Amino acid sequence: MVTALAGTVASIHGPMALAAWQGRDPLTAMPAQAAGATPGKATTGGTISSYTTALYYNGIGRYQEALTAAIIACERADGLGFALWALPELVEAAARSGERDIAAAGLERLRATAGPSATDWALGIEARCHALVLADGNDPAAEERYTESIDRLSRTRIATHLEGQSNPEIAAQLFLSPRTVEYHLHKIFTKLDITARDQLPRALGTR
């Protein structure tokens, strides 16, 4: 009633972001009145819809589609809000699509804000994105940045980006070498038809 009297529409970002994190197409979660008030916005590059679409496609391993959406969402990443949140999605999608130059450029844009804020969440996301860029180039230093990311993110209350234990930590508990853990994870990923460990809960939950 309030929105009707004010001549506004219900917020779309909450339902869309929640759907993306749950592995559902965010465009299906857009409130009907919002979609009707902004025809075509969800498919023509609205920042919120592009960000959540990138988030959704990264989550299900469709990285080229995630990259397309993330590029649109990041067009205004010099500002605040969803355009800035889309930068980590851009880096992940680009790195996993083999677009290393785009991933590296996205990382530098992210650092411009993560560094000055200096929070564990910002620096944890930056470390994760750096690890993705390094891993794409087969740099062994990637594991160190992944470990740093896990350490920083574990100190925050925002757990959605937190990837779990690193290969060395898993290896230590199982008395194996990190390379052995990596080998078996690769076989598991192939069997489950996934490409990253953050997809394991969703893949195993369907079985």
- Asked if the structure places residue 202 within a domain, the reply is no
Q: What percent of the chain has pLDDT over 70?
A: 70
On whether residue 107 sits in a domain, the answer given is yes
Q: What does the pLDDT look like over 89-148, one tens digit per residue?
A: 999 999 999 999 999 999 999 999 888 888 999 999 999 999 999 987 778 888 889 889
Asked whether the predicted pLDDT for residue 170 surpasses 80, the reply is no
The answer as to whether 171 is a domain residue is no
Q: What is the structure's pLDDT at 108? A: 95
The mean-pLDDT minimum among 58-67, 70-79, 85-94, 144-153 falls in 70-79
Residue 197 lies in a domain: no
Q: How confident is the model at residue 7 (pLDDT cuts 50, 70, 90)?
A: low
- Where is pLDDT greater, at 166 or 104? 104
Residue 180 belongs to some domain of the structure = no
- Looking at the domain assignment, is residue 205 inside a domain? no
Q: Could you report the per-residue pLDDT of 174-189, keeping only the tens digit for each?
A: 676 767 777 677 777 7
Domain of residue 22 covers 9-164
Residue 203 placed within a domain: no
Q: Do the Cβ atoms of 63 and 96 come closer than 8 Å?
A: yes
CA contacts within 13 A on the Cβ side of 91 = 24
Number of domains in the chain: 1
Residue 54 lies in a domain: yes
Burial class (CB in 10 A: 0-12, 13-18, 19+), 140: exposed
In our burial notation (b when 16+ CB lie closer than 10 A, e otherwise), range 42-67 reads beeebbbbbbbbbbbbbbbbbbebbb
Range of lowest pLDDT (2-6, 38-42, 67-71, 108-112): 38-42
- What b/e string do you get for 117-136 counting C-beta neighbours within 10 Å, with b at 16 or more? eeeebbbbbbbbbbbbbbbb
